[in-house]
Homo-oligomer: A and B are copies of this chain.
């Protein structure tokens, strides 16, 4: 099964063992100056990612073993291994020695803290209580459309909720989601669902968040925030504006969180 890489551009083979010339995917070509090679393991990684995205292997499920994937793609186990190593580093899959490799899911305490960075100043993190304030469909304002890569006026789902820790309202959150991706999303469904919202998105709407980018600022509590968080107007609050992405770096959520940081803090590790 293939050994070196010179030549051998292959045929029905899903990957390009060859090197110089054409081959799978790759970009431009056509006399281009840079054929934009990608290493074999990157191509394998892309193929696996495709299977994840298409739902061939669903969150929580076991994916085929390294040996099987190697045989399927006609490459060595080491190459598959390196591809999966990167996917594991990006939290798309989780390896478990002796058991296999599983598709990551938001239905886990582990994945939980990746996206909720607010920690109590003392004690261990609790599961917040969740109160839905409002759910509606609307046309995307220009700013929302821009960040979600939609056209201004496209349908979006708007959600407003308050999260409390030990009975103390702490987070006021607004979300905007592309209407097309979240058609059946209703207030009832949100209220009855227990657990992290990303788990609901993943299970019920097939949209899995894999990466996010946040911009954080300090703001003053306006009348609304003051009311929902039970603080005086003008109280300093932390504002986190998040854009979340799914496979293919597609933006699929805009979230604006207002955090009361009197007894909590936003935890961040620089490494």
**Residues of A at under 8 Å CB distance from B?**
89-91, 114-115, 117, 119, 210-220, 234, 236-239, 242, 259, 261, 265-271
* Complex-state Cα separation, A265 to B266, whole angstroms: 14
List the 6 shortest-distance A-B pairs measured between CB atoms, nearest first.
A236-B236, A218-B236, A217-B261, A216-B266, A215-B265, A218-B218
* Complex-state Cα separation, A271 to B243, whole angstroms: 12
- Least CB separation from A262: chain B residue: B217
* Complex-state Cα separation, A271 to B216, whole angstroms: 16
Determine if B219 and A236 form an interchain contact, defined as CB atoms under 8 angstroms apart.
yes
Determine if B214 and A267 form an interchain contact, defined as CB atoms under 8 angstroms apart.
yes
Selected from B114, B212, B213, B266, the residue in CB contact (under 8 A) with A217 is B266
Residues of B within 8 A of A259 (CB): 218
Residues of B within 8 A of A115 (CB): 270
Residues of B within 8 A of A270 (CB): 114-115, 117, 211-214, 242
* Complex-state Cα separation, A105 to B91, whole angstroms: 28
Q: With A236-B236, A236-B237, A237-B236 as given contacts, are A217 and B265 in contact (CB-CB < 8 Å)?
A: yes
